Chains A and B, each alone.
Chain A
Amino acid sequence: MIFEEKKTGEARTDVLRDRKAEDELDPVLDKVLGNFRQCVHAWSESAYQHTRNETRAAVPGGWRLAVGWAMGCVLVAGGVSGGMYEHHRQVLAKIRAEQEAKQQQLAAQERARATDEDLLAAVDSEVSQEVPAAMEPLAQLMEGDESQ
């Protein structure tokens, strides 16, 4: 029994002397107290062994639990960071698409403006080359002034 303490002869004698010195326990009380002692010892021994076994059993279980938690944390962290990366990627793509659309729009506007300007320039040159009949006398006068 693990609870049996080894007492020296001297200590044991002290206990016996104390027992004698105590008011004499009647045999019934002595027996009851002996039963009480046995009861406490049996209960305690059982509980102590149980807790020890539980502690021993809890060690591998504890590792499993810790590993499980670690794996879970890794998975959660991976999921969260993957989601965040995906979200970030989508936002970037959206911004890029918007920028491209804006650039295309600007280029289209530029092209349209260039076409208008070319057209106006062409019209101007054509108009300037044609002198209306009503302006003929004035054109001749201007040519005469230039020759003088």
Chain B
Amino acid sequence: MRDMRASTKVMAAGTAVSPMTAESGEEAGPQEFARIVESHRPQIFRFLLASTRDLDLAETLTQECFLKAHRNWARFRGESTAMTWLMRIAINLQKDHWRNRRLQFWRQTQSNAVDVDEASEWLPSDERDAEQQLLAQEQVQQVWKALESLSHRQRTVFLLRFVEDQGLGEIAQSTGLSEGTVKAHLSRALAKVRAALGGGR
């Protein structure tokens, strides 16, 4: 049974899970978890989609992430935000997935990942003229390409920072790295992205 002593469980930044009462504990648990799934699922899916560029894989990993979270929900003590906790599970699942794929190199593993051109087509127009739109699309393509050359950690840190808008402290919690290491990874990732854009310009 969940630790009732935890007074509050902080969900996403700014939203808090109300404390459970002893009477409503049994009913509140699943409802609470359902609320967390509802509010955080899109963000977890987005992170996994950006990491893998594979819709099916992102969907599968998102489901696995929430399944794992549900199994371990009783052990969640609210020391970090629910988002950070879920993101950590998602990062680990993704890491496991790539490790397993590397181990299964003898199998013909087909990747459903879309290419960078297709991924860059989703740029909203923002009433820009066609030339600007094309330039912006090309630059986004180069960022996608640069992401391919990053290490797993660099890519994760980069996406959490620039797509999920997370702070260094939050990234450090999600990845289990120190803030200094996060900064170092982010700096290297940015340097590579900058170089890719510089080459393209």
A contact set with B: CB distance below 8 Å:
2-3, 5-8, 11, 14-15, 17-18, 21-23, 25, 28-29, 32-33, 35-48, 51
CB–CB A51/B187 < 8 A: no
Is B105's CB within 8 Å of the partner chain A?
A: no
The residue on B at minimum CB distance from A29 is B194
Is B123's CB within 8 Å of the partner chain A?
A: yes
Given A7-B14, A40-B159, A43-B122, list of 5 further CB < 8 A pairs? A15-B165, A22-B186, A38-B126, A44-B42, A44-B49
Is B80's CB within 8 Å of the partner chain A?
A: no
**Distance of A10 from chain B, by nearest CB (Å):** 8
Q: Given contacts A37-B162, A39-B120, is CB(A45)–CB(B197) below 8 Å?
A: no
The residue on B at minimum CB distance from A55 is B59
Instruction: Count chain B residues whose beta carbon lies closer than 8 angstroms to a beta carbon of A.
Output: 43
Q: Given contacts A18-B167, A37-B162, A39-B119, is CB(A6)–CB(B140) below 8 Å?
A: no
CB–CB A5/B167 < 8 A: no
CB–CB A35/B165 < 8 A: no
A11, A25, A35: which has the most chain B beta carbons within 10 Å?
Answer: A35
The residue on A at minimum CB distance from B194 is A29
Q: How many A-B residue pairs have CB under 8 A?
A: 108
Q: Given contacts A23-B187, A36-B162, A43-B49, is CB(A6)–CB(B197) below 8 Å?
A: no
A2, A7, A40: which has the most chain B beta carbons within 10 Å?
Answer: A40
CB–CB B43/A47 < 8 A: no
**Distance of A22 from chain B, by nearest CB (Å):** 7
CB–CB A47/B197 < 8 A: no
Please report the C-alpha to C-alpha distance between residue A43 and residue B122 in the assembled complex, in whole angstroms: 5
CB–CB A23/B190 < 8 A: yes
**Distance of B119 from chain A, by nearest CB (Å):** 7
**Distance of B130 from chain A, by nearest CB (Å):** 15
Interface residues of B in 92-130 (CB under 8 A from A): 119-120, 122-124, 126
CB–CB A11/B167 < 8 A: yes
